[in-house]
Structure 1
Amino acid sequence: MRTPTVLTVAAGLVAAAAATGLAPRAPELGRQQTGDAELAATVRAAVDDPDGLRGLAVASIEDGRIRVAGLGDRAPGGPAVEPGTPFEIGSVGKPLTGMLLAHQVASGAVRPDDRLGTVLPGVTGPAGEVTLAELASHRAGLPRLPTGPSTWAGAWWTSLTAGNAYAGDDVDRVVADTAGLEPGDGRGAVSYSNLGMSLLGQGLAAQAGVGYPELVGRDVLRPLGMTATVVATGPDQLPAARAEGATAGGRSADAWVGAGYAPAGIGVWSTAEDLARLTAAMLAGTAPGVDAATPRFDAGGDRRIGYGWFTSRYGDREIVWHNGGTGGFRAYVGYDRAAGRGVVVLGNTARDLDALGLRVLGVTGDAASESTGLPGWIGGGLALAFTFLGGLSLWSVARRGPDRTTVLSAAVWAVLYLGLAHRLGDWSVVPGWLWPLGAALSGAALVPAVRRWRDLPVVAGAPRWRRATGTALSLAFAGLAVAVIAA
């Protein structure tokens, strides 16, 4: 074997060995368990693949009997999940706002066809004409979130960094976002809207003369005994001993907090025990605003919607439900009125739990079958692309690059691409052992780069100003990559 080939293979092996200890590992459902052992065993058996999960808090409600259990870990290497461990529940908070509307309607405080502008005077123009019932059932024709360059840029950045997607979104900001906003042509049809549900909750709170957290606590949470459920409007209000959220690939995720979007579930934390109380009361028909679960409008397919609550048909069974998802958590709450059964499943990673919840409820078939879905494959694609892109580029440049500037830039990006793959890739979809192979490719590519380095000019080819501009842009993008990796 020729010496250059030996060096190339050796460099690749050394890089792979060094990277093996740093290889990304997806979360895996831990072995610890607490609470009802039989329920924990049932849930563990219903988990078809433990990768992408870390901890679960579950509750089963049947004929008025509540059982609760915790499985796995609150955080990497941390204490066990317990039935009373707080989880971020995301959009499971929306049914609470729907129940608020139903409760206020029953008390005569508002009517379903009241206009938003009459209860939230800061909302003027066309958006103020939508009704409270339209907002509660996602039929107001409002977008999921406000549109615009700043919104999209913020969403893009927080998706990269697993940061707080609702930072700075207070009540005034939500109201201001309605300026000039017109309901779309789809008004009257169900189109999911975080903005719409937030406006509903803030309008009900303004009508009652209190803040949303106070109103939902007074009218829904405290009557149900849900004392562990928290509506956090700032980081200082997050509950103690809470679970730590993570992406499905294992990256730690910030809690989502934004007071304006609290009625849509942002900043809402609860426990399996508390949500079991809610579910039991919904089954018994005793919850404040229970009429919110009455299916009123077609939501497409086999789904209907009431005020916040969805109802779906699976064969001869009807399940009332809602799910929730934030940067690092997933939640599912569902119940079958006819069978007198309900389930709560909370998880501290971004892997969906709907199918698991349905299986625990006894629903079978395609609805209870998990699939990776488009977001998972996008994350897996990023993992694959970034893992090998830097090494392939460096290999090409090392053999044919015109100057040292180009080779050095390619070497820097080979390292940065590996970091981006580690940070952004969904390693619950793609096996983590591929990452050291990408490191091996980059390490091997360094050999021809080093061998040619001495013979290359610093800058060659294009005019210096063009080369300088290209280098500056490359450095700017490299800085952005470093920010993403470090965030």
Structure 2
Amino acid sequence: MLTLRRTRPGAKKWWALATALAAGALAMLIAPRPPTLGPESTGDPELARAVREAAGDGAFRGLAVARIDGGRVRLAGLGVTGGPDSAPVTADTPFEIGSITKTMTGMLLADLDVPVDAKVRDVLPDAGFEGRELGDVTLAELASHRAGLPRVPLTPKLLALSYLSNLTGLDPYAGTGREELLADAAATSPSGRGEVSYSNIGMAVLGFALAHSQDMPYEELLRTRIMGPLGMSSTTVLRSDDPLPPGRAHGSKAGGLAMDPWRGDGYLPAGVGVWSTARDLATLVDAVRKGTAPGAAAAEPRFTETSKQRIGYGWYTTVFGDSTVTWHNGGTGGFRSFAGFDRGTGRVVVVLGNTDADIEPMALRLLGADPTDREGSLPFLMLAITLVLIFSPGAEAWFGHRPYEVTAGVAKLMWGVFSLVLAWVVGIWAIIPPVAWALGAGLLLASVLRWRGVPFTPRGARSWVRIAIPALLSAAILII
């Protein structure tokens, strides 16, 4: 029977320590690298300084900002676009804007000569809503998130793709077309109708109903009725086969994981596949504030959600301290956005970011509003999960029982590697310093030295399966 050579206990400890330090140092080469806002700055320097102060230490890579105050328009870009041809961000850099699109879908309802109390089955007769609860929902209920629909349809496909997206950066909406969206909606039973409950699927159904009423595709309707009249020439509504905007920002997680752009024709009216710039959105929001935009009445608050928040058609109106702000935000896989105005001060603010770090507190500070209600508490659960994923494999391998043979030890090592890979992907590296990941990797690798003297006695195919499963899981996450 073969055995691994033993070393003296004292030398073993020093050798293990040296190995742990060396492994940790090497692991720093592949440790998570959360994005940081670089020194690059374009546009108005005064606004850029105000943005840096408002942003604090957030995990931002690039920000495009517009602020209108006292009739004066200021534009600035900070940081970089990311991607293979990374460049400084400007006010004309295209970003995914996500759910800010919902405000324009709501404006279409306010602008078109379509009864807001029309039932969706009458406006969209080809959707298969006859005889279903959803068919009785009105357009106004869809526009104000009072139709009783879930945020997204809870189908196995979308749940699986959403989970996979968080691990790999893949687009969870890829390939979802209009017909699939309407079929998913038809299979949904409204619950809590009349109460405000945010729904992507509801706003998507509204957009297609309005487009059908005008006998044109949603993207053409939006260009014709909203974007064209306002001169929003840099805003694009992209179908799945359309090229992405040149010079675009590239999105990522706050931990550094690159995210694919979201492309799903079925969710265009809810904000999937829509790109815009800080300059264009400032034009939109200021025209809504003035009441000169087509469908500007959509921003008027009509229905109460909470004591501090009401909703119109797509637009929220919320009390933040002494300020009342009309606004909407957006979030896709690797982008965050905010567009809002304060009727009392006349101030307009648009902020676009190319990571999934929260930008609402920053945007509210730039508006002069109190962001306290939007500043999240420390995510203790995710902190704990990340730390467990980092350190538990090494601690167990170091202090736990030695494996009874070499393949069992290798299997334990492979499960530790999988845990570290998972931590790399889902960890909150905007809070935890990446050196912690390197230390966890060093501890795991150094612990292997405790297994010297373990007999090499593999026990059939099952012993190798224990190695293959975590190795394949780790490789799949890294490759995808």
Q: Structure 1-normalised TM-score?
A: 0.92
Name 2:65's counterpart in structure 1: 58
Matched, 1:114 2:118: yes
Name 1:85's counterpart in structure 2: 93
The equivalent position to 2:421 in structure 1, one of 419, 422, 427, is 419
Residue 174 of structure 1: CA displacement? 0.6
- Deviation string 1:231-289 (CA, Å, 9 cap, x unpaired) is 11115332110001010111111111101101001111100000010011012110000
Matched, 1:133 2:125: no
SS of residue in 2 equivalent to 1:452: coil
The whole-number CA distance in structure 1 between the counterparts of 2:326 and 2:367 is 11
Name 2:39's counterpart in structure 1: 31
Residue 458 of structure 1: CA displacement? 1.4
Matched, 1:385 2:388: yes
Q: Is the 2:417–2:474 contact (alpha carbons within 8 Å) kept by the matching residues of 1?
A: no
Map 1:397-412 onto structure 2 (within 5 A).
399-412=401-414
Matched, 1:287 2:288: no
Name 1:147's counterpart in structure 2: 154
Name 1:483's counterpart in structure 2: 476
Map 1:54-453 onto structure 2 (within 5 A).
54-75=61-82, 78-104=86-112, 108=113, 110-121=114-125, 122-124=127-129, 125-184=132-191, 186-234=192-240, 236-364=242-370, 366-367=372-373, 370-371=375-376, 374=379, 377=380, 379-396=382-399, 399-449=401-451, 451-453=452-454
Which letter does structure 1 place at the counterpart of 2:426?
L
The whole-number CA distance in structure 1 between the counterparts of 2:14 and 2:87 is 48
**Residues 379, 222 of structure 1: CA spacing in aligned structure 2 closer, same or farther, 3 A cutoff?**
farther
**Residues 332, 365 of structure 1: CA spacing in aligned structure 2 closer, same or farther, 3 A cutoff?**
closer
Q: After TM superposition, where is structure 1 displaced by more than 6 Å over at least 4 residues in a row?
A: none
Q: Is the 1:64–1:280 contact (alpha carbons within 8 Å) kept by the matching residues of 2?
A: no
The whole-number CA distance in structure 2 between the counterparts of 1:477 and 1:3 is 32
More deviation in 310-319 or 214-223?
310-319
Name 2:6's counterpart in structure 1: none
More deviation in 420-429 or 85-94?
420-429
The whole-number CA distance in structure 1 between the counterparts of 2:330 and 2:378 is 16
Residue 382 of structure 1: CA displacement? 4.1
The equivalent position to 1:2 in structure 2, one of 2, 5, 10, is 10
The whole-number CA distance in structure 1 between the counterparts of 2:279 and 2:78 is 14
Q: Is the 1:141–1:183 contact (alpha carbons within 8 Å) kept by the matching residues of 2?
A: yes
**Residues 425, 166 of structure 1: CA spacing in aligned structure 2 closer, same or farther, 3 A cutoff?**
same
Residue 486 of structure 1: CA displacement? 2.3
Map 1:13-28 onto structure 2 (within 5 A).
13-28=21-36
Q: Structure 2-normalised TM-score?
A: 0.93
SS of residue in 2 equivalent to 1:304: strand
Residue 433 of structure 1: CA displacement? 1.1
Which letter does structure 2 place at the counterpart of 1:46?
A
**Residues 283, 164 of structure 1: CA spacing in aligned structure 2 closer, same or farther, 3 A cutoff?**
same
**Residues 474, 411 of structure 1: CA spacing in aligned structure 2 closer, same or farther, 3 A cutoff?**
closer
Name 1:458's counterpart in structure 2: 458
Residue 476 of structure 1: CA displacement? 3.5
Q: Is the 1:383–1:426 contact (alpha carbons within 8 Å) kept by the matching residues of 2?
A: yes
Residue 73 of structure 1: CA displacement? 0.8
Q: Is the 1:320–1:334 contact (alpha carbons within 8 Å) kept by the matching residues of 2?
A: yes
Which letter does structure 1 place at the counterpart of 2:218?
Y
Q: Percent identity?
A: 44
Q: Is the 1:393–1:414 contact (alpha carbons within 8 Å) kept by the matching residues of 2?
A: no
Q: Is the 1:89–1:265 contact (alpha carbons within 8 Å) kept by the matching residues of 2?
A: yes
Residue 144 of structure 1: CA displacement? 0.9
The whole-number CA distance in structure 1 between the counterparts of 2:370 and 2:412 is 51
Q: Is the 2:166–2:426 contact (alpha carbons within 8 Å) kept by the matching residues of 1?
A: no
Q: Is the 2:415–2:470 contact (alpha carbons within 8 Å) kept by the matching residues of 1?
A: no
More deviation in 93-102 or 61-70?
61-70
The whole-number CA distance in structure 1 between the counterparts of 2:392 and 2:285 is 49
- Deviation string 1:30-84 (CA, Å, 9 cap, x unpaired) is 11000111111111121221x4111100000123321110011111682100110
Q: Is the 1:23–1:432 contact (alpha carbons within 8 Å) kept by the matching residues of 2?
A: yes
Residue 7 of structure 1: CA displacement? 1.8
SS of residue in 1 equivalent to 2:349: strand
Residue 301 of structure 1: CA displacement? 3.5
SS of residue in 2 equivalent to 1:144: coil
Which letter does structure 2 place at the counterpart of 1:457?
T
Which letter does structure 1 place at the counterpart of 2:453?
R
The whole-number CA distance in structure 1 between the counterparts of 2:241 and 2:391 is 38
**What number of residue pairs does the alignment pair up?**
468
